[in-house]
Structure formats: structure tokens, C-alpha cells
């Protein structure tokens, strides 16, 4: 995550999305996937052998090392159509929800940003996540029925 302070030094008005695009590379994403897989195995044993990953087509998600890792770990991936932010929960739900809560705040440091964003993420309820999942299913169904 050393890249984030460097990015912030360039322009303190950067959005969370802009920081994420600069800071999340394939190595960082692979670390996240490894932790996710372990957590699913530990916390959700009922689906540990039967879950599907959905991510968009960001470069970190489609890197060869990531595709090899997912294949090696037998983690199936739901294909994501290119240029379809309307099908990515982070784009259609999470970023919007976070952006409205963080708007017009000045954080000063990366630690403050991480603290505030983490705090806001922890305020999401099970109902919030269920609503997001339901919207995701509706959007995919609409995409399928309209043939793209």
C-alpha cells in the first residue's frame, strides 16, 4: 500500500475510486483473494466448496497471476461483461453509499481515510447487504433477458 501516500501527495482531491485504481495491483488483489478464500473456509464451511467469485474486469482482477491463482484454487468466476458498472455491486451500490457519507470531509492522512471508510463499512447492516444482493440479481436477470 506504499503507492497510496505517493498518489495522495500528487493531488489531495483524489477520489476513493482513483486511489483504488492506482493502489490495487494484482499482488495486492491476490493477497485479498487468499484471505477471502481462507475466511470462506473458516466462517462459511457450508459453501466452502461451492461458491463463485464475482469481480469486474479491472486490470488487477484479470491479470494472468490472478487467473492462475483462481484456477489453481478451483475458484470459479462469474464472467463480467466489459464496461458494465451497472452489474458490479461496488459500482452501483457500495461506492454510492460511501460517497454520500464521506462527501465534503477532509481527512488529512491516509490513516484517517482508512479509519473513516472502515467505520462506514462497519455500519452496513445485513439488510443493506441483502438489498445489494437482490439488486445485483435483478440487474443480472435484466441483462440476461435483454440478451446483453
80, 112, 128 - which closes a domain: 80
Q: Is 77 helix (H, G, I), strand (E, B) or coil?
A: strand
| Same domain, residue pair 55 and 68 | yes
Q: Is the model's pLDDT at 46 over the cut of 90?
A: yes
Specify whether 14 is located in the same domain as 57.
yes
Whether residues 69 and 123 share a domain: the answer is no
> What whole-number percentage of the chain has pLDDT above 70?
84
Instruction: Summarize the confidence of residues 91-100 as an average pLDDT.
Output: 87
91, 85 in Cβ contact below 8 A? yes
Least trusted range by pLDDT, from 2-16, 75-89, 116-130: 2-16
Contact of 85 with 92, CB cutoff 8 Å? yes
Residue 24 pLDDT > 90? no
Predicted pLDDT at 1: 47
2 and 75 inside one domain: yes
Q: Which residue has the higher pLDDT, 30 or 106?
A: 30
Same domain, 17 and 63: yes
Q: How confident is the model at residue 5 (pLDDT cuts 50, 70, 90)?
A: low
Residue 147 belongs to what domain range? Answer: 81-148
Say yes or no: 87 and 66 in one domain. Answer: no
Lowest mean pLDDT among 10-24, 52-66, 81-95, 109-123: 10-24
| Same-domain pairing of 94 and 138 | yes
60 and 117 part of one domain: no
Of 27, 47, 80, the residue at which a domain comes to its end is 80
Helix (H) or strand (E) holding 53: strand 53-54
Q: What would you measure as the largest C-alpha separation in the chain, in angstroms?
A: 47
Average pLDDT estimate for 103-124:
84
Q: Is pLDDT larger for residue 111 or for residue 87?
A: 87
pTM here is 0.71
Q: Are residues 28 and 64 in the same domain?
A: yes
Shared domain for 40 and 104, answered yes or no, is no
Instruction: Report pLDDT for 6.
Output: 53
- 1 and 70 in a common domain: yes
Last residue of a domain, one of 80, 108, 124: 80
Total domain count, the chain:
2
Amino acid at each position: 500500500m506504499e503507492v497510496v501516500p505517493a498518489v495522495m501527495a500528487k493531488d489531495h482531491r483524489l477520489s476513493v475510486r482513483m486511489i483504488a485504481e492506482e493502489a490495487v495491483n494484482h499482488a495486492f488483489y491476490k493477497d485479498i483473494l487468499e484471505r477471502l478464500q481462507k475466511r470462506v473456509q473458516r466462517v462459511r464451511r457450508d459453501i466452502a466448496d461451492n461458491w463463485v467469485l464475482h469481480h469486474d474486469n479491472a486490470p488487477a482482477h484479470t491479470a494472468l497471476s490472478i487467473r492462475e491463482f483462481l484456477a489453481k484454487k478451483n475458484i470459479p468466476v462469474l464472467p463480467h461483461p466489459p464496461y458494465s458498472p451497472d452489474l458490479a455491486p461496488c459500482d452501483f451500490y457500495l461506492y454510492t453509499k460511501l460517497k454520500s457519507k464521506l462527501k465534503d470531509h477532509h481527512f488529512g492522512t491516509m490513516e484517517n481515510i482508512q479509519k473513516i471508510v472502515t467505520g462506514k463499512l462497519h455500519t452496513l447492516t445485513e439488510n443493506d447487504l441483502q438489498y445489494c444482493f437482490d439488486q445485483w440479481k435483478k440487474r443480472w436477470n435484466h441483462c440476461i433477458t435483454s440478451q446483453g
